[in-house]
Homo-oligomer: A and B are copies of this chain.
Amino acid sequence: MQRNPISATVDFDADGVQHGFLKLPHSHDASAWGSLMIPVTVARNGDGPTALFTGGNHGDEYEGPVALFDLAATVRAEDLSGRVIIVPAMNLPAFQAGKRTSPVDGGNMNRVFPGNPVGTVTEKIADYFQRTLLPLADYVVDIHSGGKTLDFVPFCAAHVLADKAQQQRCVEAMAAFNAPYSIMLLEVDATGMYDTAAEEMGKVFISTELGGGGTARASTVAIAKRGVRNLLRHAGILEGAPEIGETVNLDMPDGRCFISSEHAGLLEPCVDLGAEVSEGDLVCKIHDPARTGVAPVIYKSPIDGVLTARHFPGLIGMGDIVAVVAVRV
């Protein structure tokens, strides 16, 4: 396997707080000898577990970057037992552009793992996480939100894993994060995900969806900040116990949770996030945007549950997920 071209300007083994960059050479039309400079902070105080935090896996999701730039600016080595590695904007070009995917190569970071050291820019970053950063970590927390095209009730998630002991550790970490909702997440397509990469290495891995629409709110930023510190306490890297409040436990038993559109048009949502819906309840209408006087198409819930996710933009395309209905546990 070839060497990854990324070099870090920080020393992951040194004590103290260091701010630097993951520097990835990138020769392109606007700079023949340019580099991507992905910000990174490492804070370490002696031996102990390592927590690896990422935001900006998708570039239009903001609770993660806000909470992690904040953590990086305020973390103090003397408060730690062990190590914290913080990458607030994992897919830097996507984050800078405010887009889900990289404007450099179109790469969706969460579909290219395990990456490739001689591939695209996005694949090179993935390979660096796969072969350099993930091996350093015990706890891996990847903070997502819905981005510009989805919106979610704020949840922390774990996955059903073959190794039930590992799954249990992930569920405990999810509980410690303590978002308003906690969910056993069914992925649309798990191929190429960072989640899978971390889980296959046996790490304690949790992710989140803390809102969406391409913005952050004061309330969801607070969930992210609290969850991050809760996880550090749970891992024993920060002292003290996690602050635990109420959470709603959800499950996604099968593919019927996903309501998908077979029409393009103007979306009229009929229930809002967090609402309880029963099988057969109206979820949305899709209006023909080209002419007046036409009855809209109607979509209903196939199961009883909680409206957990929804398409965000006012227009919807054929094949888009309209909504997700998850089941209270």
Contacts and interface: CB of A to CB of B under 8 A. Distances in A.
A321 B29 contact: no
B215 A314 contact: yes
Contact of A100 (B29, B36, B37, B267): B29
Centre residue among A25, A26, A34, A296 by max chain B CB count within 10 A: A34
A25 B189 contact: yes
A227 to B, nearest CB: 16
B33 A216 contact: no
A214 B316 CA distance: 12
Interface string A22-39: 010111111111111101
A28 to B, nearest CB: 7
Contacts of A218: 269-272, 275
Nearest to A95: B289
Contact of A291 (B19, B148, B191, B320): B19
Contact of A30 (B70, B149, B192, B260): B149
A209 to B, nearest CB: 10
A271 B98 CA distance: 22
B69 A319 contact: no
A268 B70 contact: yes
A184 to B, nearest CB: 18
A223 to B, nearest CB: 12
A188 interface: yes
Given A62-B266, A149-B30, A292 B88 contact: yes
A301 interface: no
Contacts of A149: 29-34
Nearest to A264: B290
A88 B26 CA distance: 26
A21 interface: yes
A58 B249 CA distance: 40
Interface string A195-221: 000000000000000000111111101
